[in-house]
Homo-oligomer: A and B are copies of this chain.
Amino acid sequence: MRDMMSLTERPEVISLAGGLPDTSTFPPELYAKLMSKVAAEQTAKALQYGPTEGLAAVMDCIVEVMACEQTAVDPDEVMVTTGGQQVIDLVCKALIDPGDVIVAEAPTYPGAVPTFGAYQAEVLQIEMDSDGMPIDELEASLDRLAAQGRKPKLIYTIPNFQNPGGVTMSLPRRRRLVEVAREREILVLEDNPYGMLRYEGDPLPTLYSLDAQLAGRGGASDFVIYLGTFSKILSPGVRVGWAVAPPPVLEKLNLGKQGADLCSSPVTQLFVAAYFHSYDWRSYLERLRGLYHARRDAMLAALQQHFGSSAQWTRPQGGMFIWATLPDYIDTTDLLARALETEDVAFVPGRSAYVDGRGASSMRLNFAGVAEADIAEAVRRIGRVVSEQVGLFGTLTGAETGAAEPQEDRPEADAQPEAMADVLELPKRQREGRQRRSR
């Protein structure tokens, strides 16, 4: 990921690699106005240390965002963090001893993989389908662990528009997941950076709110730690995220945060508070949603046009990422090197979303941070190196690859939906999506 980030700085590269939202839409005059407001009212407070748990003014913003997620939270159960990433780190620091098991989705957030590794967790990844993590598979895995006398310390999930998979956990699975967590007394880390970035379909309740219903104690959850962030609805540069957690967990997170960075920046916390106070954050979010929706559609169209019939991809209802899978003879890590060298284009190779080397033929594509024209161009470029590889494979093996020819003339790249679905292990959504498109 670090090499990815540094590559994005080469100006000629179009990068679909980063987890970057588009911050160019934020008005500079609003930035200046909000900072001047902070300066006029509380310069000394902004420049001073703040409380480890965060400033009260930001707590109010967090409660407001959570309410928009249909989730009631008590500010006493909230802790401000240095971005959402810090929640993952602090949760591991609080809970994980070397050798402890964390259950995650497959694929999972590439940025979580090294964090889990740093705490020497054993990560068990459950392959998703189009409804997210199959809870029966989860239960079977938990049973197998239990037979060995083991129990995970944590189930890590990104239920909405998963990073990198692009799929969303269905309501029945959400309900069942919190039941399983309660039955087996296992903590769930619900990573929800993109929940407010839905472009179609109805919002689904958070795991936190579902568990709180079952807990019945005034809206607070027993087993779900919620990770939220302002990164995707305002700015990642402010480095302000949050955790909502049961009090005993929150206490440990707070101790960990003291040791990690004492407090998150009051400069940026007060900026966030000023923004919420003097600007309609929902209208900016609406603008982002419109922008990203169009970009998602642009990427889906470009994939349809430029990727061969041998490729498959998810069709996310929101968020920032599409997960594309190529024939299994293509290694996307090698492909990235080639794509950067010959086409000045970048993506995240799929292997970084697994702990065990799987995902080698997949890639994560970010559609949110890049203009529509650049999306089309970037996908065209990636399509060229893919076609080159597919053609090369065909030449070498004599196999019929079905992807070296241009796709524009074919009505739908649905030659082998069943087989492709099996490769992807994302059958239902994929098929539905493709059927929808072919109507």
Contact = CB atoms under 8 A, between A and B. Distances in A.
Interface of A: 1-2, 5-6, 9, 18-20, 23-24, 26-29, 31-32, 35-36, 38-40, 43-52, 82-83, 85-86, 88-89, 93, 98, 111, 114-115, 117-118, 234-239, 254-256, 258-268, 271
Nearest to A270: B237
A266 B237 contact: yes
A258 B2 contact: yes
A70 B260 CA distance: 29
A86 B261 contact: yes
A85 B36 CA distance: 29
Nearest to A1: B258
Contact of A114 (B2, B115, B236, B259): B259
A154 to B, nearest CB: 15
Contacts of A93: 118
A433 to B, nearest CB: 30
22 contacts: A2-B52, A23-B48, A26-B47, A28-B40, A29-B39, A31-B38, A31-B43, A35-B36, A46-B237, A47-B234, A48-B237, A83-B262, A98-B98, A114-B255, A114-B259, A117-B259, A118-B255, A235-B267, A236-B262, A237-B265, A267-B268, A268-B268
Number of copies: 2
B267 A237 contact: yes
Contacts of A89: 259-261
A82 B239 contact: yes
A31 B45 CA distance: 12
Given A2-B254, A268-B267, A49 B32 contact: no
B256 A118 contact: yes
Interface of A is mostly: helix
Contacts of A238: 47, 265, 267
B239 A261 contact: yes
A31 B5 contact: no
Contacts of A26: 43-44, 47
A114 B258 contact: yes
A2 B49 CA distance: 12
A308 B271 CA distance: 47
Contact of A267 (B28, B47, B258, B271): B271
Given A39-B35, A47-B236, A114-B255, A265 B262 contact: no
A46 B31 contact: yes
A50 B40 CA distance: 28
A436 to B, nearest CB: 33
Given A2-B254, A44-B23, A49 B236 contact: yes
Given A2-B52, A265-B237, A267-B271, A86 B47 contact: no
B260 A239 contact: no
Contacts of A254: 2
Contacts of A5: 49, 51-52
A318 B235 CA distance: 39
Contacts of A88: 259
Nearest to A40: B28
B35 A111 contact: no
Kindly name the residue among A114, A237, A256, A260 whose own CB sees the greatest number of chain B CB atoms within 10 A. Answer: A237
Contacts of A40: 28, 32
Contacts of A51: 5-6, 9
A234 B46 CA distance: 12
Nearest to A254: B2
Given A86-B261, A265-B267, A268-B268, 10 more contacts: A23-B47, A31-B43, A35-B39, A47-B236, A49-B236, A50-B237, A82-B82, A85-B259, A265-B265, A267-B268
A89 B5 CA distance: 23
A19 B114 contact: no
B20 A48 contact: yes
Nearest to A41: B28
A352 to B, nearest CB: 12
Contacts of A85: 259-262
A264 B1 CA distance: 16
